[in-house]
Amino acid sequence: MRNYLGKRTEQKYNGILLVDKPIGFSSHDVIQQIRKITSTSKVGHTGTLDPLAEGLLVLCLGRSTKIAQFITGYDKTYRAVITLGKESKTYDSEGIDENSQGNQIPDIDKIELDSLLNKFRGKITQTVPHFSAVHVNGKRLYESARNNENIELPQREVTINELKFIDYSKPELSLEISCSKGTYIRSIAHDIGQTLGCGAYLSKLKRTQVADFRLENALTIDEISNLEENNSLENKLLNFQQVLSYSSIIVSDDIKKKVFQGQKLVSSGIIGFEGDFELGDKVILKIQSGEVLAIGESLLDSHDWNNNVNNDDFFRYIRVLN
């Protein structure tokens, strides 16, 4: 951020904040509250939650907004409650026809339900819900849905890493779902209803995990406010090293300024590396203290490192984190 004189202004906080989002708040609502509480203008998310959903929201504050793009692709885990016997135009509780009598739910036991879920495990193709923010023909799908426009809905391939049957107490089916980026849990709910022939919708959703970040380590908005008042919030922020799981190239402290300027990395500045990587893998540059300076692409395999490092290109910058 720059002030009216064009000079960069420092952010109060720089780090990753795990937030427990309540039902009824949009992700943007939460971001606005965090900006106000922390007096930090730069706050971004790594994947939104619908207002009707609750749970883990991973936010980037200050300089950490520069690594948001590297976190958005992480797998996510949810607890979902699916209500059988009724359909919803939005596939969740918002689009239910309250005047509908509902459909008869077939007699099916827990073992049969768990078996039915096999078709939703692994790589599957989902049809994007009509009520979604995806752009088609220059317009968001929910806009065309509200105008009752009939258009061909796009499909996308997603991966359901794990789909655990938790409980079934008619009409509610409880599941735990671990999935790839871009998965619509409410589409899974809708498709289960179509498979059973009785309709279904997503009635509750809680995100419990994003990669290795867990909901039990997240803070409520009230807790964040209290920590800020007591000058203790800094201790709850995660740094780059805790968040980025890439292998590392360790460089000497005296080239830190050159890295921040995006200057070419040369072999004389390399101290060593941590972890294995292949040509084309993302790696981080850091100094011995652990401070992460940049993210880039390795142009060598780690096992060829000692034999091939010279003044030729062996690292390409993707993002400098100054």
SS3 131: coil
Q: What is the CATH number of the domain that holds 291?
A: 2.30.130.10
Look at residue 8 and tell me if it is in a domain: no
Q: Kindly state the tokens that stand for 27.
A: 């992700």
Look at residue 220 and tell me if it is in a domain: yes
pLDDT, one tens digit per residue, over 223-251 is 999 999 999 999 999 998 888 889 999 99
Look at residue 59 and tell me if it is in a domain: yes
Q: How many domains does the chain have?
A: 3
SS3 88: strand
Whole-number pLDDT of residue 253 = 92
Instruction: Round the average pLDDT of the chain to a whole number and report it.
Output: 89
Mean pLDDT of 38-42: 93
Q: Do 229 and 152 sit in the same domain of this protein? A: no
Q: Do 145 and 201 sit in the same domain of this protein? A: yes
Catalytic residues: 50
Look at residue 1 and tell me if it is in a domain: no
Q: Kindly state the tokens that stand for 94.
A: 């918002």
CA distance 30 to 282: 31
- The domain in which residue 121 lies consists of 76-207
Q: Kindly state the tokens that stand for 214.
A: 């867990």
pLDDT, one tens digit per residue, over 302-321 is 887 666 655 567 889 999 99
- pTM, entire model: 0.87
Whole-number pLDDT of residue 310 = 58
CB 271 within 8 A of CB 249: no
Rounded alpha-carbon distances, angstroms, from residue 195 to 192, 202, 290: 5, 15, 51
pLDDT, one tens digit per residue, over 134-176 is 777 777 877 877 878 788 888 899 999 999 999 999 999 999 9
Secondary structure letter of residue 159 according to DSSP: E
Look at residue 69 and tell me if it is in a domain: yes
Q: Do 104 and 137 sit in the same domain of this protein? A: yes
Secondary structure letter of residue 8 according to DSSP: B
Q: Do 218 and 276 sit in the same domain of this protein? A: no
Whole-number pLDDT of residue 4 = 37
Determine the longest span between alpha carbons in the chain, in angstroms: 74
pLDDT, one tens digit per residue, over 172-223 is 999 999 999 999 999 999 999 999 999 999 999 999 999 999 999 999 999 9
Q: What is the CATH number of the domain that holds 28?
A: 3.30.2350.10
